[in-house]
Amino acid sequence: MSNAGFVVLAGRPNVGKSTLINAIVGGKVAIVSDRPQTTRRAIRGVCTNGEVQLVLVDLPGVQRPRDALTERMARRVQAELAGSDAALLVLNGEQGVGPGDRFIAQALRDSRLPVVLAVNKIDRLSPADTVAVLAQANELDVAQEIFPISARTGQGVATLVAHLESLMPDGPFLFGIEERSDQPHEVLLAELIREAVIKRTFHEVPHAVEVVIEEVDSESEQLTRVRALIWVETPSQKGILIGAHGAMIKAIGIAARKELERELGCRVHLELSVRVRRGWRADEGLLDRLGIT
């Protein structure tokens, strides 16, 4: 008899949920950045161990809706909570427990899901600080099990995964045993490019960027051509992305190409272009086409 189910990851922005999913799955399915609010879609990572399959849902960061994009992100949070079998609340051990963590903990209590709590980034803490933050986490009174982990180094992750597996209901696998994500391949490629943009324009262009894959042409087993369009909201943002004499867009392209080659397993010829589309985050039609539901 097999077991399979959905585990929703909740937590404040920048607690390391994407890094944790990538660590559990064993490959990149969610982009990683030090910038909060980089996850816009509920990205599913699939982890199959023996007769148990976890489908991990990396939710958009919880925040107050302020435009059509963030309204859709908030709706996605509620929909994924309703359709999951367990919830994993991730805390940032370096920051301790704050009002945002308490707000999310209350939302998880209201969902009536089994809740597991992970305190991340303990590799950066002293033993005394680890004990202190675990005590703070316990005071949230949202989970019976609390796991100190480091998604970056893998410390404690296997123990956490084993516990999550024990919560999964009986049932057939939801994905093939070789699958690690339900994202369309073009979406993953676009996200890898967006990751490169965010890492290099950390302060200047935080959330005004979206990437669309216009063409993927596998010319041979050794070479794939990828053509991508980067949307921004203002001409000044476009100037930042291109940089003096094209230096910034060249650096973004070099970094993104390495990730694409790792994902596709072949050489990649990457063509990037940047266009201005004012207010794209409030454009319902464009958000539909981008698959941000």
144: which residues sit within 8 A by CB, 6+ positions away? none
Q: Which of 15, 23, 31 is nearest to 191 (CA)?
A: 31
Per CATH, the number for 3-166 is 3.40.50.300
Q: What is the pLDDT of residue 82?
A: 74
The pLDDT tens digits along the chain (293 residues) read 899 999 999 888 778 888 899 899 988 777 665 555 555 556 788 999 999 999 998 876 554 555 555 565 556 666 677 779 999 999 999 999 999 899 889 888 888 889 999 999 999 999 999 999 999 999 999 998 999 999 999 999 999 999 999 999 999 999 999 888 877 788 889 988 988 998 888 666 656 788 889 999 988 889 999 999 998 888 998 999 999 999 999 999 999 999 999 889 999 999 999 999 876 666 666 555 555 55
CA separation for the pair 272, 247 (Å, rounded): 13
Q: Could you state, in order of their start, the residue ranges of all structural domains in the chain?
A: 3-166, 185-290
Distances (CA, A) of 31 to 195, 213, 247, 271: 6, 16, 23, 20
Domains 3-166 and 185-290 alike in fold: no
**What's the CATH number of domain 185-290, 3.90.1300.10, 3.30.210.10, 3.30.300.20, 3.40.50.300?**
3.30.300.20
191: which residues sit within 8 A by CB, 6+ positions away? 30, 31, 183, 211
For the entire predicted model, the pTM comes to 0.72
Q: What is the pLDDT of residue 150?
A: 97
Q: What is the pLDDT of residue 154?
A: 95
